[in-house]
Structure 1
Amino acid sequence: MTGPNTADRTRELGIDFGPLARELEEHQYPTTSDELVEAHGSAVLELPGGEETLRELFELLPDEDFESAAEARAAIFNTVSERAIGRKGYSDRTPPALGERQEWPNESF
């Protein structure tokens, strides 16, 4: 996800990266999780259910190697806690297609 607007996007998949979005893009790669923590460990990621720092997330990934900012972001998405979920059990899927259910409850869509 590189390009002119990548560093300007601070919110992705429910995580608000804030200034860390640009810092990850401008960081020199390849790098390690330890080097990112040293440079940006106090950066706060805002989640729907709270916040976490980059240091807290990457404690779970010691000595991880990253070839790009996209790889570092992917590691963040894979490491955030359940506070990133938002509404648990929520589904935005549409109801089943006709014939998939025998009885329809009283629903309005």
Structure 2
Amino acid sequence: MPDDRQGRENQADREENRQRERELEEAEARGDEKEPLFDDESVRLGDLDEALKSHDYPTTTTELVAAYGDYELEIQGNKKPLADVLSSTDDQTYDAAEDVRRRILGLIGR
């Protein structure tokens, strides 16, 4: 291809198309990933959030209640122990702190 203006424009257009294709492929590959929780949701759990981050995983609901059941969560202006919040669920296994936070936030309706 000759090194002229039209050739350079065609090459730039092809590169833009390749870049768009790469971005679409990356977006499709990330489609299965869970979205991270927003910072304000982790703040809602207060000190429990930090404790969950340092906990060993995988873990179960029973183990979480034994370790953190006395932590109190703010729910609609009232405080409720984590043990009470998790008492309505079956014993589940959690692979990460984010999984536990999602479950707790789902149970307290946030």
Unaligned ranges ≥5, structure 2: 1-35
Structure 1 moving runs of 4+ over 2 Å? none
Q: Identify the match of residue 47 of structure 1 among 75, 93, 106.
A: 75
Which SS does the other structure have where 1:71 is aligned?
Answer: helix
Q: Does 1:24 align with 2:52?
A: yes
Shift in Å, 1:63: 1.1
For the pair shown, which has the larger CA radius of gyration, 1 or 2?
2
> What SS does structure 2 have at the residue aligned with 1:12?
helix
With the length of structure 2 as denominator, give the TM-score of the two structures: 0.58
Unpaired runs of at least 5, structure 1: 85-109
Q: Is the 8 A contact 1:34 1:63 kept in 2?
A: yes
CA distance in 2, matches of 1:38, 1:62: 15
Q: CA RMSD in A?
A: 2.5
Aligned 1:48-63 pairs, distance under 5 A: 48-63=76-91
* Residue type at the aligned position of 1:70: E
Rounded to whole Å, the distance in 1 between the matches of 2:91 and 2:65 is 11
Which of residues 35, 38, 41 is equivalent to 1:12? Answer: 41
Distance of 2:92 and 2:100 partners within structure 1: 9
- C-alpha displacement of 1:49: 2.6
Return the offset for 1:34. Answer: 0.5
- State the shift of 1:60 in Å: 1.1
Count of residue pairs the alignment pairs up: 75
Give the aligned partner of residue 94 of structure 1: none
Counterparts of 1:69 and 1:30, CA distance in 2? 9
More helix by share: 2
